[in-house]
Amino acid sequence: MDNIECRRCGEGPRLERAPFRSELGERIVNEICGNCWKEWLQHQTLLINHYGLDPREQKSRDFLYSQIEQVLLGDGTAEQVDTTKQGSVEW
Residues 51-67 pLDDT 10s: 899 999 999 999 999 99
Strand 3-6, strand 10-13: pairing: antiparallel
> By C-alpha distance, which of 87, 7, 72 is closest to 42?
72
For the chain, give the number of residues: 91
Cα–Cα distance measured from residue 86 to residue 45, given in angstroms and rounded to the nearest whole number: 11
In whole angstroms, what separates CA 63 from the centre of its chain? 11
H-assigned helices in the chain: 23-31, 34-51, 58-71
Residues 16-45 pLDDT 10s: 999 999 999 999 999 999 999 999 999 999
Go through the domains of the chain in sequence order and give each one's CATH number: 3-85 (1.10.3880.10)
Cα–Cα distance measured from residue 37 to residue 42, given in angstroms and rounded to the nearest whole number: 9
Q: What is the pTM of this model?
A: 0.80
pLDDT (0 to 100) of residue 84: 63
